[in-house]
């Protein structure tokens, strides 16, 4: 059941009262801070005079010309332009860092030191700060490397796993490690806030795309580290499970998966070939994986007799994990059909955005601020920073 939405403009959520100074740009940092903003944090997005790079990453755009890339990760924030080479703007940036509960930045390691906005400098005036740094390759030997997701997909080994066995390596269809690093950073911030609540002390949280990549590749990096195996491209096949891949049908392809022997038996029953589950070659997952080249055509022959969506209905009814391969539009529509309410409007006129991924029984995420225009809230924020501490930025709003 969908959660009740908070009234427009009213601060709400489990992180209500938390002030986040967002000095990040592009994807990993802004995704992290949007998740925090959705949960009620007051996020001030600090931009250079030229703005976040993703403002110009087009196409596609909304009908009024806004980059949909920027829109995807900047909801519920207020934008202020601060030129850190300007003494007045730098003073405002330092004051923001002094007042903040959380600061998020993804400059190259050491890049904010000359502005007095590095962790040690900020901590000197704000001992409770939870300061989160995101980089491509960490603050050690890789600190000089630029942090682009595609570089990390290549250098972590992910691209060596993606694509057909005899074809070239491919990148994932999204900037997967930017997203994972953003999630890891949000987890780190929340853990540091819990520590602060218990001790009164803030701390420095560091995340890197490379470390997130190695963690996020889970079974593949574990195979290498613990098993001495160097994984390789297998197309849509799984190294440890079979069936676990798409199969052609009379109309469209269908993902069919057997996570255990009982599921495989149910697949065989629905396909009208129960004897396959008793065949010594296929009775166990280890056997199916070892003999996949013999089993694949036997399953494909039966699946080719009916459309994917017919098999989907019957296999799901039998408790078999499976699904058609949808377009992104079809994926959103499917989520809508099963009641997930994937698209939520924000602002007036309404801007369609993708719903926050979490639901809460008592503190619903908020959707009251559309992604901001460059420096949209600049006058308000600069006036607030020039005033006495302690007054909420949103004071006096409805």
Strand intervals (E) in 146-297: 203-208, 244-248, 253-257
Report pLDDT for 7.
Answer: 40
Residue from 24, 29, 74 nearest 183 by CA: 29
d(CA 130, CA 204): 6
Query: Are residue 165 and residue 284 in the same domain, yes or no?
Result: no
Using N-to-C axis directions, what is the helix angle for 87-99 and 378-386, rounded to 10°?
70
Write the burial class of residue 137 (CB in 10 Å: 0-12 exposed, 13-18 middle, 19+ buried). buried
* Range with lowest mean pLDDT among 5-9, 175-179, 213-217, 378-382: 5-9
Residue 329, preceding bond cis, omega within 30 degrees?
no
Q: What's the CATH code of the domain at 325? A: 3.30.1540.10
Structure tokens at 385: 């920073």
Average pLDDT over residues 382-397: 79
d(CA 279, CA 262): 14
φ, ψ of residue 257 in degrees (nearest 5): -130, 140
Report pLDDT for 2.
Answer: 39
Going by the DSSP 8-state scheme, the letter that residue 171 receives in this structure is: -
Query: Are residue 53 and residue 183 in the same domain, yes or no?
Result: yes
Report pLDDT for 9.
Answer: 46
State yes or no: is 178 an active-site residue: yes
Please write down the HEC assignment for all residues of 32-84. HHHHHHHCCCEEEEEECCCCCHHHHCCCCECCCCCEHHHHHCCCCEEEEECCC
- The pLDDT tens digits for 287-335 are 999 999 999 999 999 999 999 999 999 999 999 999 999 999 999 999 9
Residue from 23, 74, 18 nearest 369 by CA: 74
pLDDT for residue 398 is more than 70: no
Query: Are residue 138 and residue 180 in the same domain, yes or no?
Result: yes
pLDDT for residue 206 is more than 60: yes
pLDDT interval class at 11 (50, 70, 90): low
- The pLDDT tens digits for 267-277 are 999 999 999 99
d(CA 116, CA 143): 19
Q: List the domain range (segments joined by +) for residue 313.
A: 244-333
Query: Are residue 369 and residue 323 in the same domain, yes or no?
Result: no
Average pLDDT over residues 120-149: 95
**Residue 388, helix vs strand vs coil:** coil
pLDDT interval class at 396 (50, 70, 90): very low
Query: Are residue 289 and residue 377 in the same domain, yes or no?
Result: no
Task: Specify whether the CB–CB gap between 336 and 56 falls below 8 A.
Answer: no
Average pLDDT over residues 274-288: 96
pLDDT for residue 6 is more than 90: no
Report pLDDT for 1.
Answer: 32
pLDDT for residue 378 is more than 50: yes
Query: Are residue 179 and residue 326 in the same domain, yes or no?
Result: no
Helices (H), 100-142: 119-125
Query: Are residue 278 and residue 369 in the same domain, yes or no?
Result: no
Query: Are residue 308 and residue 361 in the same domain, yes or no?
Result: no
Q: What's the CATH code of the domain at 178? A: 3.40.50.10540
Q: Is residue 297 part of a domain?
A: yes
How many domains would you assign to the chain? 2
pLDDT for residue 359 is more than 50: yes
Catalytic residue among 38, 89, 118, 178: 178
Q: Is residue 341 part of a domain?
A: no
Task: Specify whether the CB–CB gap between 29 and 182 falls below 8 A.
Answer: yes
SS3 content of the chain, % helix, strand, coil (to 5): 40, 15, 45
Average pLDDT over residues 3-23: 73
Query: Are residue 154 and residue 193 in the same domain, yes or no?
Result: yes
- Mean pLDDT, the chain, whole residue set: 94
Task: Specify whether the CB–CB gap between 78 and 44 falls below 8 A.
Answer: yes
**Residue 292, helix vs strand vs coil:** helix
pLDDT interval class at 348 (50, 70, 90): confident
Task: Specify whether the CB–CB gap between 257 and 321 falls below 8 A.
Answer: yes
- CA-atom Rg of the chain in angstroms: 25
The reported pTM is 0.92
d(CA 45, CA 34): 10
Query: Are residue 58 and residue 183 in the same domain, yes or no?
Result: yes
Which residues face 46 on adjacent strands?
Answer: 80
What's the half-sphere exposure (Cβ side, CA atoms, 13 Å) at 294? 10
Report pLDDT for 5.
Answer: 44
Q: Is residue 227 part of a domain?
A: no
pLDDT interval class at 393 (50, 70, 90): confident
Using N-to-C axis directions, what is the helix angle for 176-199 and 149-156, rounded to 10°?
100
Rounded (5°) CA angle 9-202-366: 15
Average pLDDT over residues 227-252: 95
Terminal Cα distance for the chain, rounded: 28
d(CA 35, CA 86): 30
d(CA 4, CA 361): 10
**Other Cβ atoms closer than 10 A to 252:** 15
Structure tokens at 130: 């939870």
């Amino acid at each position: 059941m969908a959660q009740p939405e908070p009234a427009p403009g009213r601060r709400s959520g489990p992180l209500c009262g938390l002030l986040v100074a967002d000095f990040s740009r592009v994807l990993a940092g802004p995704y992290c801070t949007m998740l925090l903003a959705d949960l009620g944090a007051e996020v001030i997005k600090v931009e250079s005079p030229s703005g976040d790079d993703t403002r110009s990453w087009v196409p596609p755009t909304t009908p009024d010309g806004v980059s949909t890339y920027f829109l995807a990760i900047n909801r519920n924030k207020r934008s202020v332009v601060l030129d850190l080479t300007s003494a007045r703007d730098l003073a405002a940036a330092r004051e923001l860092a002094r007042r903040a509960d959380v600061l998020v930045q993804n400059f190259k390691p050491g890049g904010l030191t000359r502005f007095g906005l590095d962790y040690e400098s900020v901590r000197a005036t704000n001992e409770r700060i939870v300061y989160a740094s995101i980089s491509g390759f960490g603050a050690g030997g890789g600190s000089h490397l630029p942090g682009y997701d595609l570089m990390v997909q290549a250098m972590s080994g992910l691209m060596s796993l993606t694509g057909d066995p005899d074809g070239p390596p491919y990148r994932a269809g999204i900037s997967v490690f930017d997203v994972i690093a953003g999630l890891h950073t949000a987890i780190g911030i929340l853990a540091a806030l819990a520590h602060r609540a218990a001790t009164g002390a803030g701390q420095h949280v560091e995340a890197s795309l490379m470390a997130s990549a190695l963690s996020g590749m889970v079974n593949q990096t574990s195979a290498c580290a613990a098993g001495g195996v160097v994984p390789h491209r297998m197309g849509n096949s799984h190294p440890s499970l079979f069936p676990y891949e798409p199969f052609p049908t009379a109309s469209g392809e269908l993902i069919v998966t057997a996570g255990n022997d009982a599921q495989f038996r149910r697949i065989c029953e629905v396909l009208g070939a129960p004897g396959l589950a008793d065949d010594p070659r296929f009775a166990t997952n280890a056997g199916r994986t070892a003999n996949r080249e013999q089993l694949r055509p036997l399953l494909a022959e039966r699946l080719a007799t009916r459309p994917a969506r017919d098999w989907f209905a019957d296999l799901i009814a039998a408790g078999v994990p499976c699904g058609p391969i949808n377009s992104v539009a079809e994926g959103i529509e499917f989520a809508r059909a099963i009641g997930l309410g994937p698209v939520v409007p924000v602002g007036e006129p309404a801007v369609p955005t993708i719903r926050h991924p979490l639901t809460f029984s008592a503190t619903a995420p908020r959707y009251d601020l559309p992604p901001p225009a460059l420096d949209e809230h600049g006058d308000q924020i600069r006036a607030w920073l020039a005033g006495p501490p302690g007054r909420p930025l949103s004071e006096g709003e409805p």
